[in-house]
């Protein structure tokens, strides 16, 4: 990476300001005064600005308790997005890991690490997601069997679904675990077995559960064990 680009990523300087800093003799690379803004910065090389070490920030890994009415996106012209719930310095660096529908609440991850995000969202990795589903009608035994046996087809979708896991919480509430991420999948699955989803809340991705102390609209950083678990 060029020195001016490196400085722009790890400080508040623009590329132009970074070039001026180099020209003014304010920057050192590996302890030596930098001569050119275009010089490459080898990995793990010490860089300092005005005598203070600078480094590209590490990746961010966040857990957000998504409220209803907020888009799982970074920008939108007419509606609030999940990054609006973050401080500006974090919002500019992260993207949602997958998405939740506008009216779906619960666990949403955000990160700056594209590879980590891909491992969670890629259909090849079958990462399970668990939703608390409130239904219009109690789930019948036949509907449960169709959800859990696999082979269910969604409307306007020729590809059959993988088996889901269903755990009864109460008369009209179930925990549904799926390993796919098709468009409006949970709602369409329940419609395919003759029921209707009234509310939908995601509380687990893999082994990672939504922090019960995290209010709707709030976020926190993941710890190392949580990051590694996914």
Active site residues: 101
The encoded tokens of residue 107 equal: 């666990």
Give the pairing of strands 197-205 and 105-111.
Answer: parallel
Nearest to 63 by CA among 109, 128, 111: 109
186's CB contacts (< 8 A; 6+ apart) are: 131, 133, 176, 178, 197, 200
Question: Is residue 201 classed as helix, strand or coil in its secondary structure?
Answer: strand
Whole-angstrom Cα distance, residue 26 to residue 13? 13
Stated as kind and residue range, the H or E segment containing 2 is none
The encoded tokens of residue 190 equal: 């329940």
Where in the chain does DSSP place strands (E)? 27-29, 32-33, 47-49, 52-54, 61-66, 95-96, 105-111, 129-135, 165-170, 173-178, 197-205, 208-209, 219-221
Stated as kind and residue range, the H or E segment containing 119 is helix 114-121
């Amino acid at each position: 990476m060029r020195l001016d680009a490196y400085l722009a990523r790890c400080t508040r300087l623009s590329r132009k300001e970074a070039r001026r800093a180099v020209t003014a003799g304010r920057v050192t690379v590996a302890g030596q005064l930098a001569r050119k803004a275009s010089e490459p910065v080898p990995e793990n090389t010490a860089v300092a600005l005005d005598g203070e070490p600078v480094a590209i920030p590490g990746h961010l890994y966040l857990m957000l308790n998504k409220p209803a009415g907020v888009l799982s996106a970074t920008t939108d012209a007419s509606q609030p997005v999940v990054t609006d719930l973050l401080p500006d310095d974090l919002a500019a660096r992260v993207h949602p890991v997958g998405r939740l529908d506008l009216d779906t609440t619960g666990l949403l991850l955000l990160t700056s690490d594209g590879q980590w995000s891909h491992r969670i969202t890629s259909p090849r990795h079958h990462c399970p997601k668990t939703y608390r589903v409130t239904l219009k009608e109690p789930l019948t035994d036949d509907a449960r069997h169709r959800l859990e046996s696999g082979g269910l087809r969604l409307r306007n979708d020729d590809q059959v679904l993988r088996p889901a896991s269903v755990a009864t919480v109460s008369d009209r509430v179930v925990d549904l675990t799926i390993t796919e991420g098709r468009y409006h999948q949970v709602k369409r699955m329940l419609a395919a077995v003759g029921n209707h989803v009234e509310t939908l809340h995601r509380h687990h991705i893999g082994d990672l559960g939504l922090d019960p102390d995290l209010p709707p609209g709030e976020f926190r950083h993941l710890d190392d064990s949580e990051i590694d678990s996914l």
